């Protein structure tokens, strides 16, 4: 195959001998394994012919490419069989597998006279198409026709993923997002070669998947009271407030989403979060609770319900399933039967995180279970629950997966672990011989603030783009053979609409995409952030929202020895200038320019800053109250 590929390249482009392997100056995310730039450019004609097999397995690739090309260019695009010549773009499946490319890799050749993408399987061709789209002008992402010169640089690209598991988790339980919005999310994901959507389908705020044998899960459990403000601090709903906010996916909706994912070479991992985070299920079926009075509970609407302290998690209402009741396992068997039939992916995620055991400690049933099964701790009680659930999942032909808390009381024999509380859980699980997906808060939590808290919905931590870019799914001490890959997680407590979903995902999603696709050695922040800026322009064309937080400086207040308040700024991007004011006006580049720590005037009430690149403003106008700077002094400058 390698000899044939070389011969083809020599015929295809006469000046290939002048090619050289270079550090890519192209804005391709994620960074390919190998890029060879060549002189010249390809010009897309007005009539485009795609040569490809007309088989059913190729239809998703050709349909996608035809739609992308015709939508933005206005060109007439036809797809012909592999025997058609000449062709503008050739999509070729290898007759003999190239072992380097495996299932998702591709070879992309762009020459002055045409384009060829080769792969072992249609998935590889699809990812080659994604790279090709990034070689065309940014207007290719527009839904409108642009009459411009459509060119792509001449390149040879060899590319394949580092990991098979490249995911994003989308929490559709805290706030319900429609089927069409989930499809939009898939559209955005696959452009950056993500291949797995983890859907968090159940939680205290809503049960989002129809289970026909348990109809109250959605007739009752899918709805709460609509609240707007800061989630977690909402007032408790009153009896007269309508419980009409929410929704769920019918089983036909799920089938449609699964097929949509398949047509975009993406799997969907369902998550049913148990035994904690189960209030919606308990409200629907109170007999699942170990606590008397559960029939008075309501689906959570965002009011304060959980206390997270040094002594552990304390719940104000019992949002757990009863681990000592056979009714719980009968319930879960029914749920797993229907979930397993709807999702062809080989794993089912069963949560296991943040299980508040304060009510279990008071339950006579749970105490009797502990005595019967010789369980010494509440962690062992949860382990008993998880191991029974693992058997149920396996009986449906699926693999059991849970968050890293499932390690604490002892893992089931084949359980896979998703490590979120840092990387240690994944290291531990891999050393015990269990499969692991890395999704640590340290790098991969997309619900975290991505700029200063004066600019963001308040959550308990900040995660900047440059920190996300440090994500490395294989820690040195882990068993690398058992690390399936990695993903980022978007919890949606503070995300009320789909535009905010986009804002929170991008550009940090770019960083995660490159961490799970590109070779570790190819990752370079100084190469990455200029690419991000070019993709901002592409998102503008696509009308996809993103966070410009990379342009926002960090504020670091300090008190000098002579008791004067000062503030320092740091930027993620090095080539920016910061201008500021203390006089309540809006600074531009004619205002004072930041060069070193500045003293806050005695009577100033607010500091305003904005970042520029040369003569152009690139950052947002940020207003920082002086009172907030003083507050942070007591926290060591922390936000």
DSSP characters over 397-445: T-EEEEEGGGGTT---TT-EEEE-SSSHHHHHHHHTT--EEE--HHHHB
> Cα separation of 245 and 229, whole Å?
15
> Cα separation of 387 and 447, whole Å?
30
If we measure between CA atoms, which residue out of 325, 303, 327 comes closest to residue 315? Answer: 303
CATH of domain 552-633: 2.60.40
**Residue 31 in contact with residue 24, Cβ under 8 Å?**
yes
> Cα separation of 15 and 577, whole Å?
43
The packing angle between helices 59-73 and 251-263, to 10°, is 80
> Cα separation of 626 and 639, whole Å?
13
Strand order of the β-sheet with 565-570 is: 554-559, 565-570, 598-599
What integer pLDDT is reported at residue 634 of this predicted model? 79
The DSSP 8-state label assigned to residue 599 in this structure reads E
Catalytic residue, from 31, 203, 205, 338: name it.
203
Dihedral (Cα; 493, 446, 462, 416), 10-degree rounding: 100
Catalytic residue, from 264, 277, 434, 535: name it.
277
What integer pLDDT is reported at residue 19 of this predicted model? 37
The DSSP string of 295-351 is: GG-----SB--EEEETTEEEESS--S--TT-HHHHHHHHHHHHHHHHH--SSEEEEE
Domain parsing of the chain, residue ranges = 2-159, 165-540, 552-633
Q: Which residues of the chain have pLDDT under 50?
A: 1-24
What integer pLDDT is reported at residue 384 of this predicted model? 98
Give the max Cα distance, the chain. Answer: 82
> Cα separation of 511 and 466, whole Å?
8
Give the model confidence (pLDDT) of 121-141 as tens digits. 999 999 999 999 999 999 999
**Residue 469 in contact with residue 523, Cβ under 8 Å?**
yes
Token pair recorded at residue 271:
């998550």
Q: Is 68 helix (H, G, I), strand (E, B) or coil?
A: helix
Token pair recorded at residue 273:
């979060």
pTM of the model: 0.94
**Residue 297 in contact with residue 201, Cβ under 8 Å?**
no
The packing angle between helices 378-395 and 326-342, to 10°, is 40
The dihedral of CA 318, 320, 324, 329: what is its sign?
A: positive
If we measure between CA atoms, which residue out of 553, 541, 457 comes closest to residue 503? Answer: 457
Q: Which fold has domain 2-159?
A: Chitobiase; domain 2 (3.30.379)
| Torsional class of 198: left (φ above 0), alpha (ψ -120 to 50), beta (otherwise) | beta
If we measure between CA atoms, which residue out of 126, 113, 131 comes closest to residue 65? Answer: 126
What integer pLDDT is reported at residue 25 of this predicted model? 74
**Residue 71 in contact with residue 63, Cβ under 8 Å?**
no
CA distances from 443 to 400, 419, 453, 508, 635 (A): 25, 12, 18, 9, 23
Burial class (CB in 10 A: 0-12, 13-18, 19+), 560: exposed
Token pair recorded at residue 78:
């036809």
- φ and ψ at 110, to 5 degrees? -115, 115
What class, spelled out in words, does domain 165-540 have in CATH?
A: alpha beta
Verify cis geometry, omega within 30 degrees of 0, for the bond prior to 30.
yes
Token pair recorded at residue 505:
């995902």
Q: Is 30 helix (H, G, I), strand (E, B) or coil?
A: coil
> Cα separation of 244 and 456, whole Å?
28
Helix (H) or strand (E) holding 463: none
Is 354 one of the annotated active-site residues of the chain?
yes
> Cα separation of 286 and 279, whole Å?
9
> Cα separation of 434 and 411, whole Å?
9
The DSSP string of 168-219 is: EEEE-SSS---HHHHHHHHHHHHTTT--EEEEE-EETTEE-B--TT-THHHH
| Topology alike, domains 165-540 and 552-633 | no
> Cα separation of 279 and 259, whole Å?
30
Catalytic residue, from 187, 354, 472, 554: name it.
354
> Cα separation of 162 and 265, whole Å?
17
**Residue 77 in contact with residue 131, Cβ under 8 Å?**
no
If we measure between CA atoms, which residue out of 236, 226, 222 comes closest to residue 304? Answer: 236
């Amino acid at each position: 195959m390698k000899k044939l590929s070389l011969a083809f390249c020599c015929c295809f482009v006469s000046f290939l001998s002048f090619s050289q392997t270079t550090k890519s100056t192209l804005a391709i995310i994620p960074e390919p394994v190998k890029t060879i730039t060549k002189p010249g450019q390809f010009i897309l004609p007005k009539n485009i012919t795609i040569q490809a097999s007309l088989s059913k397995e190729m239809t998703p690739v050709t349909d996608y490419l035809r739609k992308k090309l015709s939508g933005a260019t206005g060109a007439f695009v036809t797809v012909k069989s592999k025997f058609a010549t000449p062709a503008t773009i050739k999509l070729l499946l290898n007759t003999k597998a190239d072992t380097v490319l495996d299932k998702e890799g591709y070879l992309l050749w762009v020459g002055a006279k045409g384009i060829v993408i080769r792969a072992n399987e249609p998935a590889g061709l699809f990812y080659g198409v994604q790279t090709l789209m990034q070689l065309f002008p940014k207007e290719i992402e527009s839904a409108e026709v642009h009459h411009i010169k459509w060119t792509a640089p001449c390149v040879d690209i060899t590319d394949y993923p580092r990991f098979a598991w490249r995911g994003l988790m989308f929490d559709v339980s805290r706030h319900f997002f429609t089927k069409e919005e989930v499809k939009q999310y898939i559209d955005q994901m696959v452009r950056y070669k993500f291949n797995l959507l983890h859907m968090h389908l159940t939680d205290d705020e809503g049960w989002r998947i129809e289970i026909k044998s348990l109809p109250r899960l959605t007739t009752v459990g899918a709805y709460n009271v609509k609240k707007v403000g800061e989630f977690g601090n909402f007032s408790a709903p009153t009896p007269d407030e309508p419980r009409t906010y929410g929704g769920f996916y019918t089983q036909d909706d799920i089938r449609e989403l699964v097929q949509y994912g398949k047509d975009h070479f993406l799997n969907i991992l369902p998550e049913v979060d148990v035994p904690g985070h189960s209030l919606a299920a308990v409200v629907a079926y109170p007999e699942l609770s170990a606590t008397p009075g559960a029939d008075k509970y309501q689906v959570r609407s965002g009011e304060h319900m959980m206390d997270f302290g040094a002594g552990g998690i304390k719940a104000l209402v019992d949002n757990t399933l009863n681990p000592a009741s056979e009714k719980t396992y009968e319930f879960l068997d029914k749920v797993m039967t229907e979930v397993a039939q709807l999702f062809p992916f080989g794993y089912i995620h069963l949560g296991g995180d943040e299980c508040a055991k304060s009510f279990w400690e008071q339950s006579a049933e749970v105490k009797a279970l502990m005595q019967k099964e010789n369980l010494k701790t509440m962690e062992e009680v949860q382990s008993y629950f998880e191991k029974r659930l693992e058997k149920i999942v396996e009986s449906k032909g699926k693999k059991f997966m849970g968050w890293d808390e499932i390690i604490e009381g002892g893992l089931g024999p084949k359980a896979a672990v998703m490590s979120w509380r840092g990387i240690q859980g994944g290291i531990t699980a891999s050393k015990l011989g269990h499969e692991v997906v890395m999704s640590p808060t340290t790098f991969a939590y997309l619900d975290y603030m991505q700029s200063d808290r004066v600019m963001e919905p308040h959550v308990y931590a900040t995660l900047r783009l440059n920190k996300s870019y440090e994500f490395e799914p294989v820690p040195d001490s882990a068993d690398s053979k058992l690390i399936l890959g990695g993903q980022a997680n978007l919890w949606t407590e503070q995300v009320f609409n789909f535009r905010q979903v986009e804002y929170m995902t991008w550009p940090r999603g770019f960083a995660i995409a490159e961490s799970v696709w590109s070779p570790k050695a190819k990752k370079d922040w100084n190469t990455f952030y200029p690419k991000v800026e070019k993709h901002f322009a592409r998102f503008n064309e696509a009308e996809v929202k993103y966070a410009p937080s990379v342009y926002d400086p960090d504020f670091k207040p300090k008190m000098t020895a002579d008791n004067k308040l000062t503030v320092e700024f740091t930027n993620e991007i090095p080539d920016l200038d910061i201008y500021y004011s203390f006089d309540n006006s809006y600074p531009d580049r004619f205002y004072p320019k930041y060069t070193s720590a500045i003293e806050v005037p005695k009577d100033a009430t607010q500091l305003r800053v904005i970042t520029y690149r040369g003569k152009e403003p690139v950052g947002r106008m940020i207003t920082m109250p002086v009172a907030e700077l003083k507050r942070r002094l007591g926290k060591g400058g922390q936000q």
